[in-house]
Structure 1
Amino acid sequence: MSAITTHVLDTALGRPARGVPVRLSRTAPDQAVLAEAQTDDDGRIADLGPDEAPPGTYELRFDVAAYAEATGQACFFPEVTIAFAVTDERHHHVPLLLSPFAYSTYRGS
């Protein structure tokens, strides 16, 4: 199982956001793209990146513009980038709640 996972919920449409392109990178101490994938029918990417994530700063980049175009929605934020710190060996789940003019995130379980 991936050490880092995500899912995207489209709060404007009230459903999972299917087909959102996502890129996982490690930004510190080095710059490295670890994985790229798209959310599934449930808005999730369960197998994103490595089975282990050493301590450091990571980044998830969500291509919101591609999703908005595919769903015919307006898009104020063409991409959302979430930087987060991995400090231990626990699983890290980083959800994104998305609408055409806002987004939010939190540390999931």
Structure 2
Amino acid sequence: MTHVTTHILDATAGTPAPGVTVTLARLDGTAVAEGSTDADGRLALGPDRLDDGDYSLTFATGAYFRGRDVPSFHPVVTVAFTVSGEQHLHVPLLLSPFAYSTYRGS
């Protein structure tokens, strides 16, 4: 089955990032699912099976940092990726107020 999970770590605090809103959408803009990270910064999104195609995850990073009174540069972080075949896709986000990194996890 193809489904998407994420884990957000706040690199400046050295802790998971709870309460970050994340939206899963097709690249044509069609929303598929939305949710917020749990206390451990984790979230599973979407149906158990995503159709093949191009998608994005949009992380509401600006709201997360504003809620902590921390100035930041990126109001959102959008990560685009391709679904092909049946697989579990894990998209971690390492976050700081002025930078981020991501990769395809397992």
TM-score (norm 2): 0.94
Q: Percent identity?
A: 56
> What corresponds to 2:38 in structure 1?
40
> What corresponds to 1:56 in structure 2?
53
Instruction: State the Cα deviation string for residues 7-64 of structure 1 (Å, max 9, x = none).
Output: 110001000001101100012xx54201111111000103x11100111001000011
Unaligned runs of 5+ in 1: none
Query: Is this contact kept in 1: 2:2–2:85, CA < 8 A?
Result: no
TM-score (norm 1): 0.91
- C-alpha distance in 2, partners of 1:11/1:70? 16
- Structure 1 vs Structure 2 CA RMSD: 1.4
> What corresponds to 1:105 in structure 2?
102
> What corresponds to 1:18 in structure 2?
18
Q: 2:70 aligns with which of 73, 77, 80?
A: 73
Paired letter, 1:25: A
Unaligned runs of 5+ in 2: none
Which secondary structure state, in structure 2, belongs to the residue aligned with residue 71 of structure 1?
Answer: coil
